[in-house]
């Protein structure tokens, strides 16, 4: 009953593309385990990068082991119902032996409750809103299975109003931020990972209660750097979605930098965005370093 009354509207708003909310009931009833690890984020925030770092950590920096399978097989995306892949992320996850690492883009209020009940560790990664919007716009242009973005101006407007797949960026980052002191959540930022990957990897190690040598940490930094990851056919989605990402338009591993929004937003788009941003982010202790 709860599912029907409270959630249906929201699910349809968040998972607004065709087919995505079909298996909502099984997503909501997903059984997390205490020794699972979940990597959560709003889309285009550095999820895949974090996933690769975590897999490298879990495999003690063994590059070959980390190339054992595609990203989506190593760490299934729970609510994703891929168009070309045979099994939904949820079913992949159910088949996996423990300890499992999984991915989600669900906003905090839609996370299956078993994660809270089992006290499962979660790593959340967030990224500057304008860079997320730019990255999301480009992938949407190149991937015709995603809702059509329109022009950049139209897409920015949809983004500001949360009318994109997985909903409002503002509610997402704030929702997870508000939960982080009540649950084992490590809240990371893309900008910090770019600036000081060693420091952020050390935070992950501490969170996972793992110790690795300096040499292995340096190896992880190298192999998860943008240029090396871009060449890795098992990381990201460029090689998997070869037929559904139009590479003449854009790629999944596109630029991997901070501040690319400055190459896209006009002054007036930026001012309008900032004004709205201030209202949406008023009263939160959550701040982003390259905000404006
Ligand atoms: S997804 O599909 O929503 O999970 O996308 P996500 O992985 O969160 O974000 C994709 C963006 O992250 C960039 N990326 C990286 N940046 C730096 N270093 C590494 N190793 C890395 N790997 C992926 C990717 O290029 C997308 O950002 P943009 O700005 O489009 O380049």
Q: Please, which residues have CB within 8 angstroms of residue 101's CB and are 6 or more apart in sequence? A: 36, 37, 38, 39, 51, 54, 55, 58, 74, 75
**Overall average pLDDT of the 264-289 stretch:** 96
Q: What's the pLDDT band for 72 if we cut at 50, 70, 90?
A: confident
**Overall average pLDDT of the 91-113 stretch:** 94
CA distance 287 to 80: 29
- What per-residue confidence (pLDDT) applies to 289? 82
- Which residue lies with its CA nearest to atom 12 of ligand 1? 46
Class of domain 24-280: alpha beta
CA distance 230 to 254: 9
- What per-residue confidence (pLDDT) applies to 23? 72
- What per-residue confidence (pLDDT) applies to 5? 47
Find the 252 Cα to ligand 1 centroid distance in Å: 7
Site residues for ligand 1, CB cut-off 6 Å? 41, 43-49, 131, 135, 138, 224-226, 229, 253-256, 260
Is 21 or 91 the better-scoring residue by pLDDT? Answer: 91
147-186 pLDDT, tens digit per residue, is: 889 999 999 999 999 988 888 999 999 999 999 999 999 9
Decide if 172 contacts 14 (C-beta within 8 A): no
Per the structure block, which two tokens stand in for 233? 């056919």
- What per-residue confidence (pLDDT) applies to 213? 98
26-37 pLDDT, tens digit per residue, is: 888 999 999 999
Decide if 213 contacts 60 (C-beta within 8 A): no
- What per-residue confidence (pLDDT) applies to 163? 87
- What per-residue confidence (pLDDT) applies to 1? 43
Q: Tell me the β-bridge partners of 189.
A: 126
**Alpha helices per DSSP H over the chain:** 2, 8-14, 24-28, 47-58, 63-66, 71-74, 89-95, 114-117, 129-142, 152-160, 169-179, 190-195, 197-207, 214-223, 226-231, 267-280
* Number of other CB atoms surrounding residue 121 within 10 Å: 20
CA distance 173 to 127: 9
The dihedral region occupied by 166, where left means phi > 0, alpha psi between -120 and 50, and beta the remainder, is: left
Q: Is 113 helix (H, G, I), strand (E, B) or coil?
A: coil
CA distance 16 to 213: 44
Q: What's the pLDDT band for 291 if we cut at 50, 70, 90?
A: low
- What per-residue confidence (pLDDT) applies to 83? 58
Helix (DSSP H) and strand (DSSP E) numbers for the chain: 16, 4
Per the structure block, which two tokens stand in for 118? 């089992």
- With 60 as the cut, is the pLDDT of residue 22 above it? yes
Nearest ligand 1 atom to the CA of 224 is 20
Quick check: is 276 catalytic? no
- What per-residue confidence (pLDDT) applies to 18? 47
Dmax of the chain from CA atoms?
53
First to last CA, the chain: 43
Nearest ligand 1 atom to the CA of 49 is 22
- Which residue lies with its CA nearest to atom 10 of ligand 1? 44
- What per-residue confidence (pLDDT) applies to 26? 84
- What per-residue confidence (pLDDT) applies to 240? 73
Is 23 or 40 the better-scoring residue by pLDDT? Answer: 40
128-150 pLDDT, tens digit per residue, is: 999 999 999 999 999 887 888 99
224-262 pLDDT, tens digit per residue, is: 999 999 999 889 887 776 667 888 899 999 999 999 999
Indicate the average pLDDT of the chain. Answer: 90
């Amino acid at each position: 009953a709860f599912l029907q009354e409270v959630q249906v509207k929201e699910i349809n708003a968040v998972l607004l593309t065709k087919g995505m909310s079909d298996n909502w009931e099984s997503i909501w009833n997903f059984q997390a385990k205490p020794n699972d690890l979940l990597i959560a984020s709003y889309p285009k925030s550095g999820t895949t990068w974090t996933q690769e770092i975590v897999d490298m950590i879990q495999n003690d920096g063994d590059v070959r082991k980390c190339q054992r399978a595609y990203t989506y097989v190593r760490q299934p995306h729970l609510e994703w119902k891929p168009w070309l892949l045979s099994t939904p992320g949820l079913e992949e996850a159910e088949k996996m032996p423990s300890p499992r690492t999984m991915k989600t883009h669900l906003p905090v209020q839609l996370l299956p409750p078993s994660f809270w009940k089992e006290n499962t560790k979660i790593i959340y990664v967030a990224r500057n809103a304008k860079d997320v919007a730019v990255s999301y716009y480009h992938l949407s242009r190149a991937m015709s299975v995603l809702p059509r973005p329109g022009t950049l101006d139209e897409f920015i407007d949809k983004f500001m109003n949360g009318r994109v797949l997985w909903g409002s960026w503002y509610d997402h980052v704030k929702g997870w931020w508000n939960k982080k002191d009540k649950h084992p959540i490590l809240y990371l930022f893309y900008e910090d990972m770019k600036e000081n990957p060693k420091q952020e990897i050390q935070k992950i190690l501490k969170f996972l209660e793992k110790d690795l040598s300096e040499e292995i940490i340096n190896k992880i930094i190298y192999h998860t750097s943008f240029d090396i990851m871009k060449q890795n056919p098992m990381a990201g989605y460029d090689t998997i979605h070869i037929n559904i990402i139009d590479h003449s338009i854009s790629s999944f591993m596109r630029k991997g930098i901070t501040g690319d929004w400055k190459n896209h937003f006009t002054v007036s788009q930026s001012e309008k965005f900032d004004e709205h941003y201030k209202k949406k982010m008023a009263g939160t202790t959550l701040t982003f370093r390259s905000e404006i």
